Structure 1
Amino acid sequence: MSQTISPGAGRPYGVQRVCTIWEQARSSFYQASRPVAPAVPKRRGPRPLISDEKLLALIRDDLAASPFTGEGHRKIWGRLRYGDGLRVTRKRVLRLMRENHLLSPHRGRPKAAKAHEGKIITLAPNLMWGTDGTRVFTLDEGWVWIFTAVEHWNAECVGWHVCKTGDRYAALQPLSMALGRLYGSVEKGIARGLSLRMDHGTQYLSDHFQNQIKFWGITPSFAFVAEPQTNGVAERFNRTLKEQAIYGRVFRNITDVREAVMTFVELYNSEWRVEKNGFRSPDEIRQAA
Structure 2
Amino acid sequence: MSRAISVNASKPFGLQRVCQVLGFPRSTIYAVRARTADNVVPIIPGRRGPKPKMPDADLLKAIRDDLAASPFIGEGHRKVWARLRILSGIRVSRTRVLRLMREHRLLSPHRRAPGEPNLHDGRITTDCPNEMWGTDGVRIATVDDGMVWIFSAVDHCDGMCTGIHAAKIGDRFAALEPIAQGLLGEFGCVAADVGRGLSLRMDHGSQYTSDDFREQIKFWGIAASYAFVAEPQTNGVAERFNRTLKEQAIHGRIFSNLEEVRTAVVAFKDRYNRDWRLEKLGFMSPLEARQARLMKLAA
Q: TM-score, normalised by structure 2?
A: 0.58
Deviation at residue 262 of structure 1 after TM alignment: 1.1
Q: Which residue of 2 aligns with 1:86?
A: none
Q: Which residue of 1 aligns with 2:225?
A: 221
From 255, 260, 263, the counterpart of 2:264: 260
Q: Superposed, which structure 2 residues align to 1:81-160 within 5 Å?
A: 116-160=120-164
Structure 2: distance between partners of 1:241 and 1:218: 25
Structure 2: distance between partners of 1:218 and 1:137: 32
Structure 2: distance between partners of 1:226 and 1:138: 29
Pair 1:163-2:179 in alignment = no
Deviation at residue 118 of structure 1 after TM alignment: 2.5
Counterpart amino acid of 2:180?
S
Q: Percent identity?
A: 61
Larger Rg computed on CA atoms: 2
Structure 2: distance between partners of 1:268 and 1:161: 15
Pair 1:183-2:175 in alignment = no
Counterpart amino acid of 2:264?
A
Counterpart amino acid of 1:182?
E
The gaps in structure 1 that reach 5 residues or longer are: 1-113
SS at match of 1:197: strand
Structure 2: distance between partners of 1:173 and 1:247: 24
Q: Which residue of 1 aligns with 2:239?
A: 235
Counterpart amino acid of 2:284?
R
Point out which structure has higher relative CO (alpha carbons under 8 A, 6+ apart): 1
Pair 1:206-2:210 in alignment = yes
Q: Which residue of 2 aligns with 1:67?
A: none
From 254, 278, 283, the counterpart of 1:279: 283
SS at match of 1:120: coil
Structure 1: distance between partners of 2:211 and 2:279: 37
Aligned length: 176
Runs (4+) of structure 1 exceeding 2 A deviation are 114-118
Cα deviation, 1:168-195, whole Å, max 9, x if unaligned, reads 0110000000000110010000110000
Q: Which residue of 2 aligns with 1:110?
A: none
The gaps in structure 2 that reach 5 residues or longer are: 1-117, 294-299
Deviation at residue 117 of structure 1 after TM alignment: 3.7
Counterpart amino acid of 2:236?
G
Deviation at residue 115 of structure 1 after TM alignment: 6.1
Structure 2: distance between partners of 1:156 and 1:250: 27
Cα deviation, 1:80-117, whole Å, max 9, x if unaligned, reads xxxxxxxxxxxxxxxxxxxxxxxxxxxxxxxxxx9634
SS at match of 2:158: coil
SS at match of 1:273: coil
Structure 1: distance between partners of 2:272 and 2:174: 22
Structure 1: distance between partners of 2:119 and 2:222: 28
SS at match of 2:137: strand
Pair 1:192-2:175 in alignment = no
Structure 2: distance between partners of 1:262 and 1:196: 21
Q: Which residue of 1 aligns with 2:11?
A: none
Structure 2: distance between partners of 1:141 and 1:133: 17
Counterpart amino acid of 1:126?
N
Structure 1: distance between partners of 2:266 and 2:176: 17
Structure 2: distance between partners of 1:126 and 1:183: 10
SS at match of 2:174: helix
Deviation at residue 263 of structure 1 after TM alignment: 1.2
Cα deviation, 1:45-76, whole Å, max 9, x if unaligned, reads xxxxxxxxxxxxxxxxxxxxxxxxxxxxxxxx
SS at match of 1:251: coil
